[in-house]
């Protein structure tokens, strides 16, 4: 995708996060730990906690919980004039369609565009900012709601055949919502950049034992397929892609990476977090993360960490925040920079 340097200024009005009540410690997974050949791999060093959605809590439920934080802050009518709804669910509950239409209906809004964004993965928030800017600019105005849910931790990684694997302790559940428009108060989006790397798309696979396709009935429980060889590829790609695309955006806005006030990335594990900030020549205190409380929130990691750092006062008016992430096994990467304009 071509870089977007925003001419009609796209404003990120606000962002809000939601975490389910069930806070799960690492010892839950330690009780089930198996003799897994990947248990000591740096990719799977477990966070202290993660949150799990309730059994019947859907993507749409969690997105609405995050959206209600926005309406609690800004008034019940804050979303009434939304014209575009973009949603991303890590694990859609219903085959084929996403949950954007349901979210809009339950919020009582009537947007002219509803788009379920599936392929952005851990970079989905950046991807959605890029899409929202393009759609709003093409429409000549309006207001977009971005809603994201990571709901696979409690559904995939607590399965009896999966919870003993090294990968099971890493993901957490949560949701985020944000509002974007071409006017009003908020934080201007300075630039975005997205890249697709289709050659790597086939490296993200689901597996079950005995083997089956995910829609087929069978005894094997579906989870993500990792091997030492795949992990080595993902580490190499991720180490390169996240700082690479962030540096591209920094160049677009004329800021040397070490001069950025904040770097917020997706949160797959501690080794990536360390490598990314070192590549950007930034100290740990300017690279907020929520990994030890939330685990890997996939697409929700960036917006919920952004919301956390705004809420606790670390991010201040005028600060430049770089958001950067890569998705899946490296088939997508994106970055976006904002100048924080306060919480309206």
Rounded alpha-carbon distances, angstroms, from residue 283 to 186, 272, 273, 308, 344: 27, 14, 11, 18, 29
Average pLDDT (219-239) is 84
Q: List, by residue range, all CATH 3.40.47.10 domains of the chain.
A: 11-185, 190-198+221-339
pLDDT of res. 146: 98
| Distance in angstroms (rounded) separating the CA atoms of residues 344 and 71 | 12
Check pLDDT > 50 for residue 6: no
pLDDT band at 96 (very low <50, low <70, confident <90, very high): confident
Check pLDDT > 70 for residue 2: no
Q: What percent of the chain has pLDDT over 90?
A: 82
How crowded is residue 204: how many other Cβ atoms within 10 Å of its Cβ? 16
**Do residues 261 and 319 make contact, with C-beta atoms less than 8 angstroms apart?**
yes
Check pLDDT > 50 for residue 137: yes
Residue of 239, 229, 211, 205 whose CA lies nearest to 328 = 205
Residue of 255, 269, 270 whose CA lies nearest to 322 = 255
pLDDT of res. 206: 83
**Do residues 306 and 108 make contact, with C-beta atoms less than 8 angstroms apart?**
no
Query: 77 or 43: whose pLDDT is higher?
Result: 77
**Do residues 185 and 74 make contact, with C-beta atoms less than 8 angstroms apart?**
no
Is 190-198+221-339 in CATH node 3.40.47.10? Answer: yes
Residue of 277, 340, 310, 294 whose CA lies nearest to 53 = 294
User: What is the second-level CATH architecture of the domain 11-185?
Assistant: 3-Layer(aba) Sandwich (3.40)
Strands 143-150, 174-181: parallel, antiparallel or unpaired by DSSP?
antiparallel
Q: Which of 37-51, 169-183, 262-276, 288-302 has the lowest mean pLDDT?
A: 37-51
Q: pLDDT, tens digit, for every residue of 11-36?
A: 999 999 999 999 999 999 989 988 77
pLDDT of res. 270: 95
Check pLDDT > 90 for residue 5: no
Check pLDDT > 80 for residue 85: yes
Q: What percent of the chain has pLDDT over 70?
A: 94
């Amino acid at each position: 995708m071509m870089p977007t340097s925003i001419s009609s200024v796209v404003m990120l009005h606000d962002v809000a996060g939601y975490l389910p009540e069930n806070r799960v410690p690492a010892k839950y997974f330690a009780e089930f730990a198996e003799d897994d050949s990947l248990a000591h791999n740096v990719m799977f060093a477990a966070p202290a906690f993660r949150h799990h959605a309730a059994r019947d809590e859907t993507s749409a439920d969690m997105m609405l919980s995050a959206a209600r934080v926005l309406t609690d802050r800004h008034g019940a009518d804050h979303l009434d004039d939304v014209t575009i709804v973009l949603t991303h669910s890590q694990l859609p509950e219903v085959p084929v369609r996403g949950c954007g239409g349901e979210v809009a209906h339950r919020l009582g809004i009537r947007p002219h565009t509803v788009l379920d964004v599936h392929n952005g993965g851990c970079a989905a928030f950046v991807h959605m900012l890029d899409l929202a800017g393009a759609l709003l600019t093409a429409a000549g105005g309006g207001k977009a709601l971005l809603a994201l849910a990571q709901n696979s931790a409690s559904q995939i990684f607590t399965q009896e055949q999966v919870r003993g694997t090294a990968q099971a302790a890493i993901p957490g559940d949560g949701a985020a919502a944000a509002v974007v428009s071409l006017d009003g108060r908020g934080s201007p989006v300075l630039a975005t950049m997205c890249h697709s790397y289709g050659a790597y798309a086939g490296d993200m696979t689901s597996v079950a034992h005995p083997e089956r396709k995910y829609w087929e009935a069978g005894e094997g429980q579906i989870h993500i397929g990792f091997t030492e060889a795949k992990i080595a590829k993902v580490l190499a790609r991720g180490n390169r892609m996240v700082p690479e695309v962030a540096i591209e955006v920094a160049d677009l806005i004329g800021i040397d990476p070490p001069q950025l006030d904040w770097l917020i990335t997706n949160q797959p594990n501690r080794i990536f977090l360390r490598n990314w900030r070192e590549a950007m020549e930034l100290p740990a205190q300017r690279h907020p993360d929520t990994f030890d409380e939330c685990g890997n929130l996939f697409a929700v990691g960036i917006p919920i960490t952004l919301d956390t750092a705004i809420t606790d006062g670390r991010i201040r008016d005028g600060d430049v925040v770089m958001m950067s992430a890569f998705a899946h096994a490296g088939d997508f990467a994106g970055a976006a920079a904002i100048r924080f304009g306060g919480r309206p």
